[in-house]
Amino acid sequence: MTAYFNGLVLRSGGTRPDVAELHMPEVGPGQVRVRVRAAGVCHSDLSMVNGTIKPSYPLVLGHEAAGEVVEIGDHVTRAAVGDHVVLNWQPACRSCWFCDQGEPWLCSTSSGVASLENGVTLDGGPVHVALGLGAFAEQVVAPENAVIRVPSSLPLELAALLSCGVLTGAGAVRNTAQVRPGESVVVIGLGGVGLSVVAAARAAGAAAVIAVDVSESKKALAESAGATDFVVSSDALSKEIRSRTSGRGADHAFECVGRATTIRAAWRATRRGGKVTVVGMGSNDDVVSLSALDIFSSARTLRSSVYGSADFDVEIPRLAEEVQAGRLKLDHLITDRIGLAEVPDAFDRMTRGEGARSVVAL
């Protein structure tokens, strides 16, 4: 087994990450070594670069990934050498209060963990891995509950998307908001997660799926995902949404940006009694302000969707089956196929709001 491998390392917040040679730890009991084959560039990784999330440094970035198991430790039962697996950045302990309540996405053991040490070293010193994985790397060592088997016939670049963006978006529609056939939906922010919300809403039978973004260039992507309408965001957004929803506003609004301004826009675009689901992760000091009278009189529901409110061990295999059966199409989400050294440029494109998902081939 190769002792050294390449990974994308962030030395400190606000700097540009670079590819560096790392030393991989031995595989211990209950752990697996995965040869990463594909990794998506997710906004959570960018949040660690720009300081919205504050992990420990130096840090191997990346968490949305899939690959092949190449080594297992003692007592491993969930995976075998040769298995194709999706990596789960928030594995559930299955024993805390939240897991016992059937809410593994809120697991008190793994929730809120931005970075961990796991034996990886850089220049002789310890290095942290993002969200317990550090998947912008040729290999990862992870606990066995962080891998979920998928069919070997599923392309690994599509399997990687299930790890975060697709599960987050589809779960927000199916589990958190529970969109019903015939309802109207507005989706604000059309990155990989927002486009996954669009696709899931159409699959759920929504009669109108209104996609909103600041860039007209997202229109074709939105339509390929299943949007019935596309609107360029403006100060008149709520009026525009009402004009397309019989004057009432949408039954559901999904905010996929993570900013106070877009959360308020989603609130205003939703009908009285409607549901606003915040999917984007914002910063701690970006405060959402709503009047007490507005909250009372509008009768709207405002809630967040963490990791799609999903039991990943159940839903990732289900999503994989839907992709293979052609019921869930993901090809349109991949707008750039890149190498590890090109990830910083992908972050720049993400900051400018260009494309959907860049996928690293490893």
Using an 8 Å Cβ cutoff, are 274 and 249 in contact?
yes
Residues 139/35, Cβ–Cβ less than 8 Å: yes
Which residue type is seen at 313?
Answer: D
**pLDDT tens, position by position, for the chain (362 residues)?**
457 899 999 998 888 999 999 998 899 999 999 999 999 999 999 999 988 888 999 999 999 999 999 999 999 999 999 999 999 999 999 999 999 999 999 999 887 777 888 888 888 889 999 999 999 999 999 999 999 999 999 999 999 999 999 999 999 999 999 999 999 999 999 999 999 999 999 999 999 999 999 999 999 999 999 999 999 999 999 999 999 999 999 999 999 999 999 999 999 999 999 999 999 988 889 999 999 999 999 999 999 999 999 999 999 999 999 999 998 889 889 999 999 999 999 999 999 888 899 999 99
The two tokens of residue 203 are 């699959």
- The phi, psi pair for 279, rounded to 5°, reads -105, -30
The predicted model scores a pTM of: 0.93
Residue 125 is encoded by which pair of tokens?
Answer: 């010193």
Q: Tell me how far apart the alpha carbons of residues 244 and 346 are, in angstroms, rounded to a whole number.
A: 34
Q: Which domains, from first to last, does the chain contain?
A: 4-163+330-361 (3.90.180.10), 168-306 (3.40.50.720)
Residue 21 contacts residue 65 (beta carbons within 8 Å)? no
Phi/psi at 212 (5° precision): -130, 135
What string of DSSP letters covers 201-253?
HHHTT-SEEEEEES-GGGHHHHHHHT-SEEEE--TTHHHHHHHTTTTT-EEEE
Token pair for 259? 């900013």
Amino acid making up residue 127: V
